[in-house]
Amino acid sequence: AALLPSMLMFGVILASSGLLLMIERGILAQVGPPPLHPPAGLSRRDGRDSPAELELELEVLRDTRNRTIRALCGQRSMPRSVWELPPGQRRTVLQHLLVSDKYRFLYCYVPKVACSNWKRVLKVLDGALESVDVRGKMDHKSDLVFLGDMKPEEISYRLKHYYKFIFVRNPMERLLSAYRNKFGEIKEYQQKYGVEIIRRYRKNGGNSAGDDVSFSEFLQYLLDEDVERMNEHWMPIYNLCQPCAVRYDFIGSYERLHADANHVLEHIQSPSFVRFPERQAWYKPVTAETLHYYLCNTQRRLIKELLPKYILDFSLFAYPLPNITSEFCRQ
């Protein structure tokens, strides 16, 4: 019950379209909803939450998210279906909706939100993969059915009759995960994006191999990039999955990944032997401390100017805006 006043106030701010104005005035550093999304695997009060308290928080989160989505998507200017989207936006969302005709569901995959594991699940359900534990590099194209490859009448039927779900993640945490993975480990991204980023934003950076892009340089690149032209790994979730044009039946979160994944698997009545994969041993997740370190060592101007590009992801999915005040960072 103590959560409700602040959540309602946050809803009022959103409904009045005052959020962007508050960002522009620089007064949002400590204003936002309570952290309903705890760091993955942790309770908000270090394990002292009872199951009833956690369930209440989850109900408040879902209710806030649903109310916010209804309020935003109910505005006249917002699309009511994928056919009302401009061609480029429609193409993006249809190419991110994966289809299971056997289990009658659509999953909008979001890179850096456990989408590789969900693709493994889809392949196992379809019989293309023996087990979710099969090791090896994930092929993100083969043995998967994309809604965008179907005829318009087939698309409309599935959008109307199939169970639809997505998984979301704290926007800044997702960006940091993409940055560390793509520029710290993937040579293709270093050569394609890293070299260009350094050429643009660093004096005398012409000899860089693209493997030493700083987080600030990456954020500056995102600030200057057209959202519709962004790589899918850092394109806002709103643009990838269009939650106004597609009415999702369930929105899971990275912070409750296995519980929410099990909910989806139960709903689609998947075989009992199909389970959501455990995290790979080599995977190094972004912790709250790591995120705070990067944000507190980045120019506040960059973060404040970047927030409007991702503000729908923060607001629609009820994530608190990052706290980058001097007092917080000193701690």
In tens, the pLDDT along 247-277 reads: 999 999 999 999 999 999 999 999 999 999 8
Least confident of 21-35, 156-170, 216-230: 21-35
93-131 pLDDT tens trace:
999 999 999 999 999 999 999 999 999 999 999 988 888
Q: What is residue 292's predicted lDDT score, i.e. its pLDDT?
A: 93
Average pLDDT of the segment spanning 213-222: 96
Name the pLDDT band for 16 (thresholds 50, 70, 90).
very low
What's residue 8's pLDDT?
A: 41
Task: Tell whether the model's pLDDT for residue 5 goes beyond 60.
Answer: no
Question: What share of the chain has pLDDT > 90, as a percent?
Answer: 60
Q: What pLDDT is stored for residue 44 in this prediction?
A: 44
In whole angstroms, give the CA distance from residue 58 to residue 56.
5
pLDDT at 145: 96
Comparing C-alpha atoms, which of 2, 13, 288 is closest to residue 172? 288
Rounded to an integer, the average pLDDT of 227-246 is: 97
Half-sphere exposure of 47 toward its Cβ, with a 13 Å CA cutoff?
A: 0
Predicted pLDDT of residue 51: 79
Residue 323: partners with Cβ closer than 8 Å, 6 or more residues away: 29, 30
In the block, residue with structure tokens 């990456």: 218
Task: Provide the whole-model pTM.
Answer: 0.84
Per mean pLDDT, which range of 1-5, 54-58, 127-131, 282-286 is the poorest? Answer: 1-5
> d(Cα 200, Cα 203) in Å, to the nearest integer?
8
Number of Cβ within a 10 Å radius of residue 286: 24
In this predicted structure, what is the pLDDT of residue 137? 65
